[in-house]
């Protein structure tokens, strides 16, 4: 069972109460919930070379997506090999400009990543599971200053939770710490952004179509340090 986050409690009714909208008209964000996992992969020179990513989608999204794709028509809860391959192809066909909802920084500088590599897909316990690897364009040494990873959708359409304990491959002298966001601050930022949009004349449909980019505010930080 996925854990409940404060961000998941931002319902249409709560947003309506804060902004003076009717519950029926208020925008609802996020729409999709994903339990995420990260594995940091090091090369033979002990440099950070790649990050293995796992996404486990919520049951409702998974049900709708599998039906839309025309998979598992018999509702068996399992996919054929051909359906797994098709699902992997769908979820590795990123549109131009999509960053993959994984952001790394080292020394305060963004770390460039490849697109999805070796994507695998399946349906387990009613939930779509996607795994792929993101290679670092330039491999980096990791020391006492943390490399910071965040998993988030900037538009906050999708809510990610680091629900799977981060793992290491290739080194045993590293530490990974997951730091929760400041939910109170994130909620304040969201409320301020929504209020500004309303003051500029936006209605609930405008807000839904152009929701504030607050995904990073609601995301955990994963700190990776080595050799300390």
Predicted confidence (pLDDT) at residue 22 exceeds the cutoff of 50: no
pLDDT tens per residue across span 200-212: 887 777 777 778 7
Predicted confidence (pLDDT) at residue 115 exceeds the cutoff of 70: yes
Task: Give me the pLDDT at residue 29, please.
Answer: 65
Q: How much is the mean pLDDT over the chain? A: 87
- Cα–Cα distance between 74 and 71 in angstroms, integer? 9
Closest among 8, 4, 26 to 211, alpha carbons compared: 26
Which pLDDT band holds residue 148 (cuts at 50, 70, 90)? very high
Read off the pTM: 0.84
Residues forming a β-bridge with 110 = 105
Q: Tell me the average pLDDT across 106-110.
A: 95
- Answer for the pair 7, 159: CB distance below 8 angstroms, yes or no: yes
Q: Phi first, then psi: what are they for 160, rounded to 5°?
A: -105, 140
Predicted confidence (pLDDT) at residue 228 exceeds the cutoff of 80: no
Task: Give me the pLDDT at residue 11, please.
Answer: 40
The domain spans of the chain are 6-226
pLDDT tens per residue across span 160-183: 999 999 999 999 999 999 999 988
Bridge pairing between strands 167-169 and 32-42: parallel
- Answer for the pair 119, 130: CB distance below 8 angstroms, yes or no: yes
Q: 6-226 in CATH: which number? A: 2.70.170
Q: How many residues does the chain have?
A: 228
How many CB atoms lie under 10 A from the CB of residue 128? Answer: 25
Which pLDDT band holds residue 100 (cuts at 50, 70, 90)? very high
How many CB atoms lie under 10 A from the CB of residue 205? Answer: 10
């Amino acid at each position: 069972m996925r854990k409940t986050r404060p961000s998941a409690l931002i319902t249409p009714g709560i947003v309506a109460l804060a902004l003076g909208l009717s519950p029926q008209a208020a925008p609802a964000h996020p729409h999709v919930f994903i339990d995420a996992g990260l594995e940091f992969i090091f090369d033979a020179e002990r440099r950070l070379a790649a990050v293995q990513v796992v996404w486990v989608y919520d049951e409702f999204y998974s049900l709708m997506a599998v039906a839309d794709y025309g998979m598992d028509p018999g509702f068996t809860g399992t996919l054929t090999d051909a359906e797994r391959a098709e699902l992997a192809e769908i979820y590795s066909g990123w549109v131009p400009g999509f960053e993959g909802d994984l952001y790394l920084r080292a020394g305060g500088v963004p770390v460039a990543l490849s697109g999805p590599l070796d994507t695998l897909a399946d349906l387990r316990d009613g939930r779509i599971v996607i795994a792929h690897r993101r290679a670092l364009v330039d491999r980096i040494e990791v020391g006492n200053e943390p490399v910071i990873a965040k998993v988030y959708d900037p538009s906050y359409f999708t809510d990610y939770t680091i629900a799977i304990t981060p793992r290491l491959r290739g080194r045993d002298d590293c530490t990974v710490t997951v730091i929760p966001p400041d939910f109170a601050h994130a909620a304040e930022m969201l409320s301020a952004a929504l209020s500004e949009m309303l003051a500029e004349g936006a209605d609930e449909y405008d807000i839904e179509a152009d929701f504030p980019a607050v995904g990073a505010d609601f995301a955990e930080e994963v700190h990776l340090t080595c050799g300390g």
